[in-house]
Structures are given as C-alpha cells and as structure tokens.
Chain A
C-alpha cells in the first residue's frame, strides 16, 4: 500500500463510494441515467431518476459523507491525544455523551425556530465534551491513560449515558420515533436541511482537526518531551479535544450514534500509510467518509426494501475488527 499514492487511492475509493451511494437503493439508478442527471441533461427519459437522485440520494449521500468524515478524523485525533490506538468517539463515550445531550434537548421540545434547531447540536457538543473529560479523568493513571482503563471507563460511561438516554426517550412522547431511529444511527432524515444545519459546526471542527497534525505528532512523545520540544501542551491538547468533540457531536446530532468508523479507519490508515498525523488526519477524514458510505449502501441492501440503521452495520463489522486490533495492540505493546 505504501507504494500507492495515499491520497489518490483513498479519493478513488471515496468517489466510487459516492457513486454507489447515489445509484443503489430501493430503485437502482443505472450508470447512464446517473450520468445524465448529474450532468444536468434533459430529464425526459429519466424523470423519476432525477427526482430520486436530487431530492433523496444526494442529500443523504452528503450527510453520510460528512458524518463519516467527522468520525474518521475525530477518531484519529482522539487516538493521538490519548496516545492510544483504540480510542474512538464511540468507545471513549463521546458519541453516547453527545447522544444523551441531544436527546435531552429533544425531550425539552424546543419550538422549531433557529434557536430550537441549534439546541440539539449544541447540547450534543456539551454532552460529548463532558463525556470525554469524564472518561479521561476516570481512565487516567498518573500521566498516562492505559488502553484498558480508557476503554473500561468509556464502556461504563456509555452504559450509564445510554440508560439515561433510554429513560428520557421512554418518558418523552412526541419526538420518540425520531429519536429511536436517530439513536440507532439511521440517516433516514431526508432533504438538504440537516446537511446545511450540520455543515458549519462540522466544517469548524474538521478544519481545526486538519490543522493540528503537527501538534499531534509532537504530542506522541508524551507530555514531558512535548513540552521540552516547545509545545504548550495543555493548551494544544484542549484545542484538539474541542475540535474533535465538535466534529463528533455534529455528526452524532444529525446521524445518531455510529460506532467503530473512528476506530477502524485511522487504524488501517496508520497501518498502511504511517504514523504522521498530518497525513493521517486527512486520510482518516476521506477514508471515514468512504467507509460510512459503503456501510450505508450495505444497510440499504441487506433487508431491501427495508433499511437497516447504518449503526448496526458498522457495529457488526467493527466489533470483530476491534477485537483483532486489541489483540494486535497487546502483542506489540503499542501500535
């Protein structure tokens, strides 16, 4: 893999995933029709295709793409900050924290005003940050965060947060259906609205992450050495955690809790293309988008015409991968 240009190959896979995601579903759009719609040619022969592509498939593809990008990049960042190859937005509780925050905001039933629409992502962001902070404190031993502690703390917190989330959902009435589908990671919400709403937060978080590659590289040497190499360690770490949690939270707020993308993608990218975080972050972003798109396509096909929430697909594929990675990390001491 090292010989291939990492960017070229991952972009090709992403492009393939995007086209697949637009073409595949209850109604298959043949490549020729897809080409016509996308190039804006007269839609007489492909009227139905045009409607499906433009109002359903494209926005959904965009949302899944953004979500996957956020999960991949923030997973890489969490792994770097905690110096732990098994950190991931899902495993360290950031996703469930965001979920709890979001459901909390939904259960208050804000009116559909701008402030009301923003309440969900804002609450998700606060939830994600609180979760990361708490799990970090719980899992810390002295100055390091050992893998087992981090994951145990993350699992314990996630269980707690999920229980609270379920409780809130059982109590609430109106938004219940939406919340359940959302919680399972189904990007069923249609239209461009969620895409546009999530975009600013996501872009802010992702830009922050893409700029922190060098800082993450220096942080890999541990706090002492990083500081001796001239890095203001505490501030740098806080900024990166903020950006990663913002990206995670905005992904969760609109797509629900989707596990393991943030674990698998950075892990494979590191394995194939090396540990330089400047490269790893952008590759994990692209790879995360591609991986989630493919998972989403699978989710549409497995039980067609019914759809499976994509979170189920990523968990089914991700959990075994996680066990493999855990064994590997154990055998090698580090990664």
Chain B
C-alpha cells in the first residue's frame, strides 16, 4: 500500500501541491481526477522521486519512500508514463527488460530469472508477439502496453499511471482500465491512475480522489466524489450526474451547459 501524508511541492515560489494526503491500498485502483493543471502529473512525479518534495511523507509498509535511493525506490514503486516517450530504436524486448534495472548491477547483466519476469510481464499485457518489433513502429495502444509491461517487470507492489488512456481509442482505453483492475484485484497491486475521463474513473476505479489547484477536494467512492456541485465547481462546468444504465452504483457525468469561467 501507498500512504501519502501532507505532501507539498513547489515549482520555484509557486506551490503546486498543497498538503496532499492520499492512501492507496493493495488490491485497489484509485483514480486521481481533476482539471488540467490541478497537479495530477506533479503528484505522480513527486511520488516517484523525480521532483523534490517540500513537506510531507510517503510510506509503504513501513519504509519511507522519499528517503530511499532511486534504485531502492524503484523496487517499491513503478510508473507508467504518458505515451510517446520511448526511444524508438529499441525493441520491445529490450525495453521491457530494462524494467529490471532496479535489480541489475551497473553493467545491466540479466539473469534467466530477469528474462522470465520480463516475459511474464509481456504476456500479462498480451504483447509477447511484439517482442522483436521496434518501439517506434508500434501503434499508440501497443506502446502503452509496452510501457505497462516495463513497469510490471519492475515487480513493485505499487503502480502509478499518468494518464495512460490519453492517446488511446475507446477500445484500448477500456482494455487498459480492465488490466489496471485485474492487476489490483488479482495481483494485489496498489494502483494509482491519473485520469481525465470521469466516467472511465467511475466505472473502473474502486475509489476516486479529486485534485483541484493542488489540493484534494474530495475522495471516496464514485458516488461520493462525483456529485454535480463538486464537479461543477472543480471543472467550472455545469454537469448532470445520472445513474449508469448498465452498472450498479456507478454515476455517469454529463456536461449540461457552457463553461462558467476558468478554474
């Protein structure tokens, strides 16, 4: 599990995350939602140690993630970044095998166990047949699966995903979210997904956290978080929330007017 407590981050004098507290338990998917610039990506970057944290703590089963060296941190927590950021000349196999980096010496010598783990990660995302292909030749959906496989090869109990559905079509969006769900429910990972699509979040996440201007404004089940007033205020857009026609307890958020101004 991942326990973020009172996390604050600033870019220069501008504070972009303010006292953020958030828990992601093993076996659950938590969706991080919020308007552009709310700090979703910043939270992912801060949590993975890429940018320095001003205040607060991040713990997992007793160890303090922020004070760990990168290699040790990468054994606890893996990140699936936004798409289209992979060196195109590597093959899929080379890319996924590099997910084993936190366990390798500086020469990067892999054992047959590392190869076995990489192979399992690839087959987990249904991409074993892509092994020999170059990353640059893949479609957006395939690239996203490769990034997920690389993160899985890190064998971490915590998985952070930064808007993994951003460039995907409907089928691939759903496929990716179903996979995130399986990873949490079957493999007991703690999965935190930053998402733009509120309905995808409502349908596939176990809990939601709403981030607005760097602060957590609401967290809980989809029904608790996706109230019409809360969402309207957060996004500056009047919305209608109706029950999902096929899924129980899942609200559906529909825009119902023009934006009310910049939020």
Contact = CB atoms under 8 A, between A and B. Distances in A.
B50 A224 contact: yes
A214 to B, nearest CB: 3
Given A224-B50, A276-B94, A229 B102 contact: yes
Nearest to B48: A228
Interface string B104-141: 10111000000000000000000000000000100000
B166 to A, nearest CB: 16
A15 B69 CA distance: 45
Interface string A223-238: 1110111111100000
B233 interface: no
A222 B79 CA distance: 13
A214 B106 contact: yes
A145 B69 CA distance: 26
Given A221-B86, A232-B69, A270-B89, A227 B107 contact: no
Contacts of B85: 221-222, 225
Interface stretch (B70-78, B197-205, B212-220): B70-78
A36 interface: no
A334 interface: yes
Contacts of A155: none
B8 interface: no
A229 to B, nearest CB: 5
A334 B85 CA distance: 11
Interface in A202-251: 211-215, 217-218, 220-225, 227-233
Interface residues of B, number: 33
Given A214-B106, A215-B106, A278-B108, A230 B79 contact: no
Interface residues of A, number: 28
B81 interface: yes
Nearest to A85: B89
Contacts of B17: none
B45 interface: yes
A217 B108 contact: yes
Contact of B87 (A221, A223, A278): A221
B60 to A, nearest CB: 15
B50 A230 contact: no
A211 B88 CA distance: 23
B118 to A, nearest CB: 13
Contacts of B81: 224-225, 228
Interface string B147-188: 000100010000000000000000000000000000000000
A220 B87 contact: yes
B50 A227 contact: yes
Given A211-B106, A214-B107, A224-B45, A229 B99 contact: yes
A83 B78 CA distance: 23
A270 to B, nearest CB: 7
A334 B88 CA distance: 8
B144 interface: no
A230 B107 contact: no
A25 to B, nearest CB: 40
Contact of B90 (A212, A228, A231, A275): A275
Contacts of B136: 334
Interface in A49-98: 83
A214 B87 contact: no
A213 B94 CA distance: 13
A229 B89 contact: no
B101 interface: yes
Contacts of B90: 217, 220, 275-276
Contacts of B79: 225, 228
A335 interface: yes
The winner among B85, B102, B107 for most chain A CB atoms within 10 A is B107
A81 to B, nearest CB: 13
A174 interface: no
Given A218-B98, A274-B89, A228 B108 contact: no
A223 B50 CA distance: 8
A143 to B, nearest CB: 10
Given A224-B81, A229-B74, A211 B107 contact: yes
Contacts of A278: 107-108
B227 interface: no
B108 A214 contact: yes
Contacts of A275: 87, 89-90, 94
A244 to B, nearest CB: 16
Contacts of B104: 214
A217 B98 contact: yes
Contacts of A214: 101, 104, 106-108
29 contacts: A83-B87, A213-B107, A214-B104, A214-B106, A214-B107, A214-B108, A217-B94, A217-B98, A217-B108, A220-B90, A221-B87, A222-B85, A224-B50, A224-B81, A228-B48, A228-B78, A229-B74, A229-B150, A230-B70, A230-B74, A230-B75, A230-B101, A231-B70, A232-B70, A233-B70, A274-B89, A274-B91, A275-B87, A335-B88
Identify the 7 closest CB pairs spanning chains A and B, nearest first. A214-B108, A230-B74, A275-B89, A230-B102, A220-B87, A230-B71, A228-B79
Given A217-B98, A230-B71, 9 more contacts: A217-B108, A220-B90, A224-B81, A225-B85, A228-B81, A229-B154, A230-B101, A231-B70, A278-B107
